[in-house]
Structure 1
Amino acid sequence: MLRLAMTTNSETFERVRGPLADRGIAVDHVQAKERALRVSGGSADSEEFAGFDAGFVYPSRLMEGAVVAARLSVPWVNDREAVLTSRNKAGVLAALDAAGLPTPRTAMVSNPVDEAAVTEAVEPFSYPVVVKPNSATRGVGVATASDLDSLLGVVDYLNLVHDYRATGDKSYLIQEFLPDARDYRAMVVDGAYVGAVERELPPDAVEEGRWKHNVHRGAEATGVDLPDRARELVERTAEVLGIDYLGVDLLETDGRLVVNETNARPTVDAVTKYEPDFYDRLAGLIERTAAGEN
């Protein structure tokens, strides 16, 4: 039986264990953070990292990930490069735009800059605009600004964070706001669309003025059947980025369908929300990765 190392023990871990075991893949958790990791000078914990054939996917914390990857010494479904590629929101949008795929109008600001540079960057936009960190997840730090003064106020807080010398990513995005957009997370496995969910906030949250449709912020994910043009768009997105296992976030409003973000460490939802061959394709990708065919 093929043995797969998974560095998360959250929803995805619990959901995939049974279906993958049915397909000859044993999934075990390897803790990659919030612990002490032996780097050198002995092998007291070597048994913990032994016997794996592949990893799924590279750890979210890249420093710890380098140690865990060295100890495991296995190929990964979505390696460090894939995770880094997807995490860079501006880089993703630039690559997709260059390939002719639809994305929201976006500008990246790299600190430190003065207010004049921010003012110039936002000139092509209409308010409100979205301001977001370039590499955060789960909607963390994302805000809207209704005018230049409020935008500069949000930027002031980002400047405080970026002023800290240990902050690695000192960039952020200014993006057009798409009101009342439907929010989808589509999944691509090994080049093929395998299902999607629509993420929706409850009506009372919308009435209160909330607009971030992140599941981790209270939205509900419902399985949906996306049309061919959306399926083709997400498959093309994965192809352009060169990522085998990818969550693609789509926004749809006023006849527009755009790629908003991607996630190379997407949460797996309930199997009922995906195509019937979801786990067959996922198992096939893991087997090919373990065999060194990626």
Structure 2
Amino acid sequence: MTEASDAGSSTGTDDTPPVRVGVLSFHNSKETKAICNAVRALGHEPVWLREENARSWIGAGSLCFDPDVDIVANRLLTTKAAQPLDDLGIATMYVASCPVLNPPAVAVRAMHKYGSAATLAAAGVPVPDAYIAFTHRTINEGNRLTGEKAVHKSAIGTHGARMSIVSAADVVSPHIDRRRAFLQEFIDTGTERPFDVRAYVVGDRVVGAMKRYAPADEWRTNVAVGGEVEDFTADLPEEAARLSREAADVLDLDYAGVDLLCRDGAWYVLEVNVTAGFKGLFEATGISPAPHIARLAIERAGGRVDPDRVTALSTVLDDSVPACKPSLTPEPEGPLTIGYTERVTVSAGRQSAAVIAKSDTGAQRTSIDFDIAAEIGAGPIVDTVYVKSGSRTGRQKRPLVEIDVKVGDRWQTVTASLENRSHMNYPVLLGRDLLDGYHVDVTKRASEE
């Protein structure tokens, strides 16, 4: 940990009790880690709310949580979640109990790009012209955009994925990657090298801003596609800063990354990002939004912080693993031993199945039989891999699915390959991806009765 983030105590300031700030995030993002570390460095108590530790119950008319927190900072990456409504429902249960920064109802409105643009336009915030329709006929025959070029983009998505520039004569789909899509006016800034501006708003102020330049032979400026960044904090025009704050305010966001473009001296809000990343902004500006978000949460819950300490902490992006990260399973009291064959439980959401599995330290990856995978509802396919087969020559292409495996009292999630194991003795093979941390006792075999 760096010097700037090493200080701080576990108590509040001025004799006020420390605030327990829950950071709701099911991903190992550097932003979540940085916020947790900033809360700790400001003298308060961070609680990383994850699937491994968060639980709630309703009893005798009372709503209870474990762990309990005073406020929640919502960092759920719903644009990448397999079941975003389920995740948002979890955030909703916290709203019933305590303040939530970027609450789910607000996040839903902001994460839909056309929906948020409609909200901004209705409030008088300048946005590019846009058009959405929901069938192939209506999106192509009813296009109301007058420009020669438009951007075809997903209504929900990140990092500029699958966006493309189209002309007025191009036929487009109402979907991109099975999600709704729309057309947005292509704004030509008239510069030799395309760029936009990302301003990061926390509360009622812009804490940092950067220019994002598109890489060579590319028009997208996203850092994820190779965009280069440059500090723009001090040079951000007041009009752009005002629009950034206004956009976040109109959408009721407590913190957000606001993307802007300027054409002929007029500024437009392109998008407002609920879970904008910190990496590019810090690289460009040397400013981390994490301490500012931590301060907002602490003060919203009635706690106090030292503003000078926030300023000092913002010069460091401390994304080290925080001490409050819960472990997947409790630490074992002794060494874990697994047999050559072991009775395990496999699950993938639909149901569970108890099977005899074979341990194979020579296999890199766990594999599961097609029939068992179908029984437990494994899927969707997340990738494919080529593997060597011990019983056949050459390499075989196999699909990969995520499954949960329980050995003893310990659950692990692995990405297993699907294969036909009907001609083998055991429907599941445990590879090194699961066996890491176990001692394999080849003399130990599970009863197959």
Normalising TM by the smaller chain, what interval?
Answer: 0.7 to 0.9
Which residue is 1:216 aligned to?
Answer: 224
Structure 1 residue 118, shift from structure 2 partner: 2.3
1:189 pairs with one of 202, 209, 233: 202
1:143 pairs with one of 158, 161, 164: 164
Deviations, residues 72-122 of structure 1 (Å, cap 9, x unaligned): 95432111012111112122212222222211111122x2x342x223432
Structure 1 residue 291, shift from structure 2 partner: 4.5
Call closer, same or farther: CA 1:31–1:18 in 2, change over 3 Å: closer
2:266 pairs with one of 253, 256, 261: 256
State how many pairs are aligned.
265
Call closer, same or farther: CA 1:2–1:221 in 2, change over 3 Å: farther
Call closer, same or farther: CA 1:279–1:40 in 2, change over 3 Å: closer
Instruction: Give the 3-state SS of the residue equivalent to 2:33 in structure 1.
Output: helix
Structure 1 residue 236, shift from structure 2 partner: 1.2
Call closer, same or farther: CA 1:283–1:40 in 2, change over 3 Å: closer
Call closer, same or farther: CA 1:141–1:37 in 2, change over 3 Å: farther
Identity of aligned residues (%): 25
Q: Is the 8 A contact 1:9 1:29 kept in 2?
A: no
Q: Following the alignment from structure 2 to structure 1, what is the Cα–Cα distance between the partners of residues 35 and 287? A: 15
Query: Relative contact order, CA 8 A, sep 6+: which one is greater?
Result: 1
Please identify, of 58-67 and 261-270, the stretch whose mean Cα deviation from structure 2 is larger: 58-67
Q: Is the 8 A contact 2:195 2:214 kept in 1?
A: no
RMSD value, Cα: 3.3
Q: Following the alignment from structure 1 to structure 2, what is the Cα–Cα distance between the partners of residues 108 and 241? A: 20
1:235 pairs with one of 241, 245, 248: 245
Structure 1 residue 15, shift from structure 2 partner: 2.9
TM-score (norm 2): 0.52
TM-score (norm 1): 0.76
Q: Following the alignment from structure 2 to structure 1, what is the Cα–Cα distance between the partners of residues 275 and 245? A: 16
Q: Following the alignment from structure 2 to structure 1, what is the Cα–Cα distance between the partners of residues 98 and 246? A: 28
1:174 matches 2:183: yes
Q: Which runs of 5+ in 2 are unaligned?
A: 1-17, 59-63, 79-83, 304-449
Q: Following the alignment from structure 1 to structure 2, what is the Cα–Cα distance between the partners of residues 2 and 39? A: 20
Instruction: Give the 3-state SS of the residue equivalent to 1:155 in structure 2.
Output: coil
Instruction: Give the 3-state SS of the residue equivalent to 1:239 in structure 2.
Output: helix
Q: Is the 8 A contact 1:196 1:274 kept in 2?
A: no
Q: Which runs of 5+ in 1 are unaligned?
A: 42-46, 162-168
Higher strand share: 2
2:122 pairs with one of 83, 91, 98: 98
Which protein has the larger Cα radius of gyration, Structure 1 or Structure 2? 2
1:64 pairs with one of 82, 87, 90: 87
1:155 pairs with one of 149, 173, 176: 173
Q: Following the alignment from structure 1 to structure 2, what is the Cα–Cα distance between the partners of residues 200 and 67? A: 37
Q: Following the alignment from structure 2 to structure 1, what is the Cα–Cα distance between the partners of residues 121 and 157? A: 21
Structure 2 matches for 1:78-97, cutoff 5 A? 78-97=102-121
Q: Is the 8 A contact 1:193 1:234 kept in 2?
A: yes
Higher helix share: 1
Structure 1 residue 231, shift from structure 2 partner: 0.7
